[in-house]
């Protein structure tokens, strides 16, 4: 990897980490939105995959005793079944098509979260199954979990239930995605090496973001984070359409 690209990936990863630590989401989506301007989507996803595999494993350890198994399995199993299809689409689509898909998926997810739409009751089992199938396909094709995050946030779950569901599902999806990537010879040793400085910057940024959040009195922080992601996704969309 050229030095300018390496510096770009490290700086982008650091900013993405701050966003993740401050807002609680959006780190991978930010990296995809920025880095796919300079690298192919699959090259970016390979590196993010390595970082997220470690990050979600660490987070899973803290919520393992709070898992709601009926809800989690209704969401996760359909997603695991549809992820291989999405992953196949990723491997057999051109870079421009995937850039367009990533931008659209990010815009949809952020728009849904920005309006803060909520149901009066928790999502029924059939609703979780549908969300799992749709979100899994998108995740497999783009490694964007924001679609699942946005759809889960629609349900009337408390903060602990929501976080546990997101962390546990994210961990399972990361493990499954790694298995798919290794099986199809997608991830190379160079991706792991390149992910090391990115990972250091990402985790350092996450620590800083969490510290900034604790000291912040601004309660609309999510709107700022969502606004940034929407701007980046819209910029990527305009780039692909022009």
| Res 36: pLDDT | 85
With residue 80 as reference, give the H or E element that holds it: helix 69-92
| Res 38: pLDDT | 86
| Res 225: pLDDT | 67
| Res 45: pLDDT | 85
| Res 10: pLDDT | 92
| Res 241: pLDDT | 74
pLDDT digit string, tens, across residues 78-95: 999 999 999 898 888 888
In the chain, which stretches have pLDDT less than 50? Answer: none
Question: Is-contact 122 156, C-beta < 8 A?
Answer: yes
Distance (Å, whole) CA 183 – CA 206: 31
| Res 221: pLDDT | 59
| Res 12: pLDDT | 92
Number of structural domains (the chain) is 1
Domain that holds residue 171: 3-241
Long-range contacts of 26-29 (CB under 8 A, 24+ apart): 26/146, 26/225, 26/226, 26/228, 26/229, 27/202, 27/206, 28/52, 28/143, 28/144, 28/145, 29/106, 29/109, 29/144, 29/146, 29/229, 29/233
pLDDT digit string, tens, across residues 178-207: 888 888 777 777 777 878 899 899 888 888
pTM above 0.85, yes or no: no
Q: Is 4 exposed, middle or buried (0-12, 13-18, 19+ CB in 10 A)?
A: exposed
């Amino acid at each position: 990897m050229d030095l300018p690209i390496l510096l770009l990936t490290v700086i982008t990863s650091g900013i993405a980490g701050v966003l993740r630590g401050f807002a609680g989401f959006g780190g991978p989506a930010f990296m995809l939105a920025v880095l796919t301007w300079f690298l192919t989507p699959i090259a970016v996803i390979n590196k993010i995959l390595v970082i997220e595999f470690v990050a979600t494993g660490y987070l899973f350890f803290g919520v393992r005793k709070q898992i709601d198994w009926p809800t989690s399995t209704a969401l996760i199993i359909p997603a695991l079944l549809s992820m291989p299809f999405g992953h196949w689409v990723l491997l057999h689509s051109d870079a421009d098509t995937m850039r367009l898909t990533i931008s659209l998926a990010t815009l949809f997810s952020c728009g849904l979260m920005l309006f803060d739409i909520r149901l009066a009751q928790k999502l029924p089992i059939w609703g979780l199954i549908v969300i799992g199938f749709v979100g899994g396909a998108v995740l497999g094709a783009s490694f964007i979990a924001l679609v699942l995050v946005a759809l889960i946030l629609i349900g009337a779950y408390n903060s602990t239930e929501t976080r546990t569901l997101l962390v546990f599902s994210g961990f399972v999806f990361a493990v499954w995605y790694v298995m798919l990537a290794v099986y199809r010879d997608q991830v190379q040793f160079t991706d792991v090496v390149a992910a090391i400085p990115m990972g250091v910057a990402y985790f350092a940024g996450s620590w800083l973001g969490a510290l900034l959040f604790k000291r912040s009195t601004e309660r609309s922080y999510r709107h700022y984070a969502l606004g940034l992601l929407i701007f980046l996704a819209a910029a990527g969309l305009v780039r692909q359409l022009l």
